[in-house]
Structure 1
Amino acid sequence: MTAVRFKPTLLAALMAASLFQSAWAVEPFVLKDIRVEGLQRADAGTVFASLPFRVGDTYTDDKGSAGLRALFATGLFKDVRIQVDGNVVVVVVEERPVISRVEFVGTKEFDKDVLVKALKDIGIGEGQPFDRALADRAEQELKRQYLTRSLYGVEVITTITPTERNRVNVTFTVTEGEVTKIKSIRITGNQAFSESTLISQMDLTKGGWLTWYTKSDQYARAKLNADLETIKAYYLNRGYLEFKIESAQVVISPDKQDISIAISVSEGPRYVVTGVRLEGEYLGKEEEFRKLVTIEPGEAYRADAVAATTKAFTDRFAAFGYAFARVDFRPELDRAKGQAVAVLVAQPQRRVYVRRVNVAGNSRTRDEVIRREFRQFEAAWYDGQKIKLSRDRVDRLGYFKAVDIETVEVPGTADQVDLTITVEEKPTGNLMLGAGFSSAEKFTLTASVKQDNVFGTGNYLGIDLNTSKYNRTIVVSTVDPYFTDDGVSRSYDLYYRTSRPLNTQGGDYKIVTPGGAVRFGVPFTEFDTVFFGAGVEQTSIKGDTGLPVSYRLYRDTFGETSLSVPLTVGWSRDARDSLIAPTRGRYQRLNLELGVAGDTRYLRGDYQFQQFIPLSNRFTLGLNTEVGYGKGLSGKPYPVFKNFYGGGLGTVRGFEQNSLGPLDIEGSYVGGNRRVNVNAELYVPFPGAGNDRTLRLFGYMDAGNVWGEKDSMSFSDVRASVGVGISWVSPVGPLKLSYGKPFRYQDQDKIQRLQFQIGTAF
């Protein structure tokens, strides 16, 4: 027997219609008037618009029934009756109460705005008609929101308080309870890998001493599903092609404080790939496609290699204009021998070209700012590589939360598609006030006002202020990324810098450098941009107390104030997967500065190379090399204020900041014109933090030094240290804390084992 449940409004309408037809049946007549009674807030026009009859129409019982159903369907009325008075129809309504206010009591886990939005989506909100059934749904929605935070013991009580003018206040009293924690995780059916190995792949963990920060012991179904996929991928990438998750059971304790997770797996046999076969249509370029295969015969089956190969194939087809190509993987298995032949079947479908490129979602940014990043042109053959490059270039602008490109077939054609790029804009202005503290520079204040997309033009305008013990800076910058239609950028910088080299004797001296520069960026490839620029800067050496001898000699030669006109050339390429916590990729930069006019003549160059190597999904090796060189030209000395410095964070840790290199006769650390740094870091997960990459431990080894013009570079001069540290992307900025022990040093070196910095990335 099947039970049928009717919504209250529909049931009331049917009953009313039935009573109307049985007890109040009338003969058809011509309507002379329609009256509405019982309205308090609703407009009479809403009632008239819902009725299927008008004055002058012939009224029938069927029209009356239809009118009842239409009025109940508006959701505005709790009861509706239709009465006939002669040739006049009287519509009597009883309005539903309207929600005057929605309140929450006891909510600590969620911001109230989040809960208000969630309830509005299901029809509970200020100014909306109240329905008890909706209130019940609201309770369930609130509980669902709390379940996402592992608060399974939450209780919600709804209180309805009537007020004047048929209004009600709805109050949800929430008892949140304690967070439900994962007590145990068990995996059964595994033979090839230990339970601890598989659990270590998961983000969900049992409670530990650091889970208060990572919250990895708080259960969520989405997290468990992601972990199950991670375990599956772990097996599929090690030859277990037929691996399956048999079940995943979650049991909550009666007091709703503990959760136990039991996962059952079926491993199946391990398969070794014996060959790769291509089937289907490859446009006569089978050998070209074969070069894209990353599946290696003789090795265990790897799902990621199969996925990478099929993606490479579809991308290659897309580059030839085949936007809807299909590449299927069909393995031929020999279960007795544990062998598999990887068969890739290609169906290129049809070749298409792009009719039109549409831009959507940009309420502030101008269309041209987005379109000028596109490398796929209208009326050209569809090119998947250019479309991906276009999406990436728009995304790298930094103006949008999300960038998506949709390919839509043009109706009535077989060889045309339209591209729609949809962007979700985000605020591009930034007002920042902050503070930092480091073992070297002590307390530092920073402030900046930046606008990356001024008036939607794509131009940049920014003001930066930084104060510290040794360096103080104010910079005003502006950038036009498309100064020319070919993508040549132009930027202006105005700055005022004050620096003070480290001195063992102290003093009141300082180096003041106001100046300005203009730079042009010329894109030589899609990934490489070379910068050319020129500037004018004035350097003043002020103060006498504690002034290093080298600075005093320079001032005696050129005077207290000297003028420089430097030309700059720079290049950089950043292919890291993250700017703050990279795990793979490479970064390179080269900067050259040439003093060609004024009081100084010099050449200064600096090259940096970084490589991040993922040793596994949890361990990363980072390598860094930096080389600097400076030389005076035209018989003039190299400006001492252009020297390089070494020691401390960013160079060789374990030594005091800027303390390496030559000392003048008064014991001042004045740096040198040559610098070499080599750094290696091994990042490992923080115990108890799972796979959280914002909090990691690292071990490091640093080596390097700074040499003056009269010094000969020798390996015996190289300083080196080893140590350990913590890297944390904290709410106030990246933090690095390191403890080092120099193992190559000299007696006069200033050792500083513990060093840290907040507010800047390493």
Structure 2
Amino acid sequence: MPKPITRTMQRRAGALSLLLAVLFWMGTAAAAFRVADIRVEGLQRIAAGTVFSYLPVQINDLVVDDVTSDIIRSLYTTGFFDDVKVERDGNVLVIWVRERPAVARIDIVGNKSIKTDDLKEGLKEIGLAEGRVFNRSVLDRIEQELRRQYFAAGKYGMDVESTVSPLDRNRVAVRIEVTEGLTARLKQINIIGNEDFNEKRLLKLFKLGPTKWNSFYSKNDRYAKEKLAGDIEALRSFYLDRGYINFQVTSTQVTISPDKNDIYVTIGIDEGEVYQVSDIRLAGDPSIPVEQLFPLIEMQRGAVFSRKAASESAERISELLGNEGYAFANVNTVPEVDAENKTVAVTFFVDPGKRVYVRRVNMKGNTRTRDEVLRREMRQLETAWFSADRVTKSRERLKRLGFFEDVNIETPAVPGSPDLVDVDVTVKEKPSGNLLAGVGYSQSDGILFSTSVSQNNFLGTGKQVSFAFNTSGSDQLYRLAYTNPYYTVDGISRGFDLAYQTTDYDESIGADYSTDVGLAEVNFGLPISDTSRAGLGARYQYTHFFAGEYSELAKDFIAQNGNKFNDFFLTASYTKDSRDSAIFPTKGTLQSLYGEIAVPGSDLQFYRITYRGRQYIPLTQRFTFALRANFGYGAGYGDTTEMPFFSNFYAGGPGSVRGWKAYSLGPRETTEENDPVGGNMMLTGSVELFAPPPVGGKFEDTLRLGAFLDFGNVWWTEPSDLVAPTGFDLGDLRYSAGLSLAWLSPVGALSVSVAYPINAKDDDDEQVFQFSFGQNF
């Protein structure tokens, strides 16, 4: 039975409770206090205000144990301090700190592959820079990052060692010593598990490989994880495009030799078996007749399944739908695999979505150029359905104007209208006027002086106005030209050209005669497509011909025809230009055909036809294969027995057949001077492989190196006692091979070639080294 509680016991319990409460209050009062002031001790460089900004407590706040912990934690988090203590001096909160040292100097030695400035910039981004607080953990991270960068460059034998030296005023000097070592080279790649294709063929798919003669340029022997991943993906695509749908890469092993100079790669694969296409189906709601879609599928029943053919077929269907206004069309390829029969049934599921229309075409950024100049180039029109192809063509046409540094087109959806988009065209204008004055030199033309004033976008209308004055040792040219590219709303252009030119052929080709020519021309251009135009023109030309003392050919011509001529020409032309750039193109075609005839009633009656062709084929990302061909033919008619020889074609020199002096190939006068006279028929061409230099940098866009084979000559097809040889013979073609350099230097264009004439004749004027400066090339 429990003992009863007495009054005495109750009094004792009450006293004990009171004592505990007092002790609790005294302990609480001793640990907690209200802050009357805050004092920071130990600061050297860091301002007290900086510390106060990080404190979680202010004056008049109540400080307890958990607040003290927050103070220490907050100050440590700043990274400014090595040690933090919190004390109490009455009602004053005292914070003792020991600052971390500041970085006074950073020295990096031993680095050759990576520039010191680049390394310091990278260190600054990570958090280590002169003037900043030193943090040992940051230095450790920097060492790891340096190792990563050098490993990525193939320098697996590199080492890095950091030294921190204390200085006065709580500062340190950091020295990072790099031992780069040699770049590890890929010694061998092995593929195991391949049965249907030999290893040699598979390794041709790889960009990586053992060291070859051109590895200094291609860097194919520099191992990188990203490069290997790309090569493995190329290997996988190779098999999947040949029906091996179960192909797998089972293992990839990369090992490095003990001296860390050689790398070996072993790739294990499981080819699987070849699957064929059992059926091809279209599903969904194409919104376009299937008769138009099936021809876009380049797959056949019974053929080997190809992932590439399937994806490209889906892309073509999606592109067609996009051009028909279904901007958000989705085409999915769904293969149904029959493992037993080793076949695949391919279903193209088409979800066109809604047809999308263009609400507005908005122009932005054209502060000088009028809206109509941009709008007339647009192939995507308002209220028409959206076409990705027309948007792309619109951007290309705007860039070809030459008025803008950049053209950007966006097609945002109209809020609340899923079937409407806007076409926002944003351009960045560049100066379209030029005031040029220059001096140049060419081996063929001597010193060149040129001055021109041109405005390709006159008053923002898109019209072209220019005046030019050019002179050299052999030529003087004065020219005024005007062209309205949109004389009509359909894009028919109209232009006028006034020019006066004097030519001393004795200075240019060594022939003893000269001409003064004045002309006035009007021409029209008719657009045929986005890349081709036709032209028609009429020209009046006045020619004053001067015969020298030693040219029997010139004297004979004057005796038969006189020396002053008023001629009226009709001209026609066709041009197609699909190059990706007018300077240093890498793909596309340039073709031009030009014909002119002096109409009956002219003092001289003759015609000329010229063809110029260029084809650029990208072989790799850097190398471009170029083909060039030029052909010309002219003849007289009516009372003029042959084309005037001062209108002849010439060959030899830069831009023609390198390795021979300019204009020197072909027939010559049968006089003691043996002057070249050109011919009424011309054929030249070249095959050239060119690429930017391997040095990279700014020269990627301004310098091209090439290797070429040139051929060509001119012929005088009519019989003559004053010229030899005459007649046409392909055996007269001259050939040369050599190296070329073209540089868009800051002060002008420079073209250099070293050519070896392969089949030069005894009386040919050879010129192995040729250059031109200050002219276009």
Could you tell me which residue of structure 1 aligns to residue 536 of structure 2?
Answer: none
The 5-angstrom pairing of residues 19-418 of structure 1 reads 26-29=31-34, 31-273=35-277, 275-296=279-300, 299-335=303-339, 338-350=342-354, 382-389=386-393, 392=396, 414=418
Seen in structure 2, the aligned counterparts of structure 1 residues 354 and 728 have a Cα distance that, compared at 3 Å, is same
Q: In structure 2, which of residues 433, 445, 450 is the aligned counterpart of residue 471 of structure 1?
A: 445
Kept in 2, the 8 Å contact 1:662–1:671? The answer is: yes
1:203-254 Cα offsets, whole Å, 9 max, x none, are: 2221233323332222122222222233333334444444333333221111
Kept in 2, the 8 Å contact 1:245–1:266? The answer is: yes
Letter in 1 for 2:477: P
Kept in 2, the 8 Å contact 1:651–1:704? The answer is: no
Give the TM-score normalised by the residue count of structure 2: 0.71
Cα offset, 1:275, TM superposition: 4.8
Cα offset, 1:643, TM superposition: 4.2
Higher relative CO (CA 8 A, sep ≥ 6), structure 1 or 2?
1
Cα offset, 1:106, TM superposition: 1.5
In structure 1, the residue corresponding to 2:111 is in which secondary structure?
coil
Could you tell me which residue of structure 2 aligns to residue 671 of structure 1?
Answer: 678
**Comparing 196-205 and 700-709, the one that deviates more:** 700-709
Aligned mates of 1:254, 1:590 — CA distance in 2: 66
Cα offset, 1:367, TM superposition: 13
Could you tell me which residue of structure 1 aligns to residue 764 of structure 2?
Answer: 750
In structure 2, the residue corresponding to 1:102 is in which secondary structure?
strand
Seen in structure 2, the aligned counterparts of structure 1 residues 754 and 38 have a Cα distance that, compared at 3 Å, is same
1:588 aligns with 2:591: yes
1:304-338 Cα offsets, whole Å, 9 max, x none, are: 43333222233333334444332211223445655
Q: In structure 1, which of residues 516, 522, 528 is the aligned counterpart of residue 485 of structure 2?
A: 522
Aligned mates of 1:379, 1:91 — CA distance in 2: 72
Seen in structure 2, the aligned counterparts of structure 1 residues 534 and 544 have a Cα distance that, compared at 3 Å, is closer
Cα offset, 1:413, TM superposition: 6.7
Seen in structure 2, the aligned counterparts of structure 1 residues 512 and 735 have a Cα distance that, compared at 3 Å, is closer
Aligned mates of 2:360, 2:97 — CA distance in 1: 54
1:120-153 Cα offsets, whole Å, 9 max, x none, are: 2322223332211111111121222222322221
1:511 aligns with 2:474: yes
Aligned mates of 1:545, 1:358 — CA distance in 2: 53
In structure 1, the residue corresponding to 2:668 is in which secondary structure?
coil
Give the TM-score normalised by the residue count of structure 1: 0.72
**Comparing 371-380 and 667-676, the one that deviates more:** 371-380
In structure 2, the residue corresponding to 1:312 is in which secondary structure?
helix
The 5-angstrom pairing of residues 571-582 of structure 1 reads 572-576=575-579
In structure 1, the residue corresponding to 2:314 is in which secondary structure?
helix
Cα offset, 1:532, TM superposition: 4.4
Letter in 2 for 1:658: Y
Aligned mates of 2:565, 2:30 — CA distance in 1: 106
1:270-296 Cα offsets, whole Å, 9 max, x none, are: 344455322222124433333433445
In structure 2, the residue corresponding to 1:313 is in which secondary structure?
helix
In structure 1, the residue corresponding to 2:126 is in which secondary structure?
coil
Kept in 2, the 8 Å contact 1:410–1:416? The answer is: yes
Could you tell me which residue of structure 2 aligns to residue 661 of structure 1?
Answer: 666
Aligned mates of 1:271, 1:751 — CA distance in 2: 65
Cα offset, 1:267, TM superposition: 2.7
**Comparing 175-184 and 619-628, the one that deviates more:** 619-628
Aligned mates of 2:501, 2:742 — CA distance in 1: 38
Aligned mates of 1:702, 1:542 — CA distance in 2: 24
Cα offset, 1:104, TM superposition: 1.6
Aligned mates of 1:101, 1:562 — CA distance in 2: 82
Aligned mates of 1:92, 1:359 — CA distance in 2: 64
Could you tell me which residue of structure 2 aligns to residue 537 of structure 1?
Answer: 500
Aligned mates of 1:559, 1:45 — CA distance in 2: 99
In structure 2, the residue corresponding to 1:330 is in which secondary structure?
strand
Kept in 2, the 8 Å contact 1:654–1:721? The answer is: no
Letter in 2 for 1:539: T
**Comparing 378-387 and 63-72, the one that deviates more:** 378-387
Aligned mates of 1:561, 1:162 — CA distance in 2: 93
Seen in structure 2, the aligned counterparts of structure 1 residues 478 and 407 have a Cα distance that, compared at 3 Å, is same
Seen in structure 2, the aligned counterparts of structure 1 residues 39 and 621 have a Cα distance that, compared at 3 Å, is closer
Cα offset, 1:259, TM superposition: 0.8
Aligned mates of 1:303, 1:276 — CA distance in 2: 13
Seen in structure 2, the aligned counterparts of structure 1 residues 460 and 330 have a Cα distance that, compared at 3 Å, is farther
Seen in structure 2, the aligned counterparts of structure 1 residues 599 and 653 have a Cα distance that, compared at 3 Å, is same
Letter in 2 for 1:470: S
Cα offset, 1:740, TM superposition: 6.4
Kept in 2, the 8 Å contact 1:464–1:476? The answer is: yes
Aligned mates of 1:736, 1:544 — CA distance in 2: 22
Kept in 1, the 8 Å contact 2:509–2:676? The answer is: no
Kept in 2, the 8 Å contact 1:463–1:477? The answer is: yes
Seen in structure 2, the aligned counterparts of structure 1 residues 476 and 617 have a Cα distance that, compared at 3 Å, is closer
Cα offset, 1:529, TM superposition: 10
Kept in 2, the 8 Å contact 1:652–1:719? The answer is: no
Letter in 2 for 1:146: Y
Kept in 2, the 8 Å contact 1:534–1:567? The answer is: no
1:349-402 Cα offsets, whole Å, 9 max, x none, are: 455567899999x9x999999987876678986542244345556777899999
**Comparing 129-138 and 582-591, the one that deviates more:** 582-591
Kept in 2, the 8 Å contact 1:99–1:168? The answer is: yes
Aligned mates of 1:737, 1:272 — CA distance in 2: 55
Rg comparison, structure with higher value = 2
Cα offset, 1:657, TM superposition: 5.1
Kept in 2, the 8 Å contact 1:240–1:269? The answer is: yes
Letter in 2 for 1:68: I
Cα offset, 1:257, TM superposition: 0.6
In structure 2, the residue corresponding to 1:161 is in which secondary structure?
strand
Could you tell me which residue of structure 2 aligns to residue 719 of structure 1?
Answer: 732
Could you tell me which residue of structure 2 aligns to residue 689 of structure 1?
Answer: none
Letter in 1 for 2:676: Y
Kept in 1, the 8 Å contact 2:155–2:180? The answer is: yes
The 5-angstrom pairing of residues 726-737 of structure 1 reads none
Seen in structure 2, the aligned counterparts of structure 1 residues 95 and 145 have a Cα distance that, compared at 3 Å, is same
- Paired residue total: 685
5+ residue gaps in structure 1?
1-21, 426-452, 499-509, 685-691
Could you tell me which residue of structure 2 aligns to residue 431 of structure 1?
Answer: none
Seen in structure 2, the aligned counterparts of structure 1 residues 122 and 735 have a Cα distance that, compared at 3 Å, is farther
In structure 1, the residue corresponding to 2:132 is in which secondary structure?
coil
Aligned mates of 2:95, 2:373 — CA distance in 1: 57
Aligned mates of 1:56, 1:725 — CA distance in 2: 88
In structure 2, the residue corresponding to 1:554 is in which secondary structure?
strand
Could you tell me which residue of structure 2 aligns to residue 705 of structure 1?
Answer: 714
Letter in 2 for 1:719: D
Seen in structure 2, the aligned counterparts of structure 1 residues 511 and 656 have a Cα distance that, compared at 3 Å, is closer
Aligned mates of 1:296, 1:588 — CA distance in 2: 38
Seen in structure 2, the aligned counterparts of structure 1 residues 548 and 615 have a Cα distance that, compared at 3 Å, is closer
Aligned mates of 1:532, 1:590 — CA distance in 2: 19
Kept in 2, the 8 Å contact 1:626–1:677? The answer is: yes
**Comparing 406-415 and 267-276, the one that deviates more:** 406-415
In structure 2, the residue corresponding to 1:53 is in which secondary structure?
coil
Could you tell me which residue of structure 1 aligns to residue 545 of structure 2?
Answer: 554
Could you tell me which residue of structure 2 aligns to residue 450 of structure 1?
Answer: none
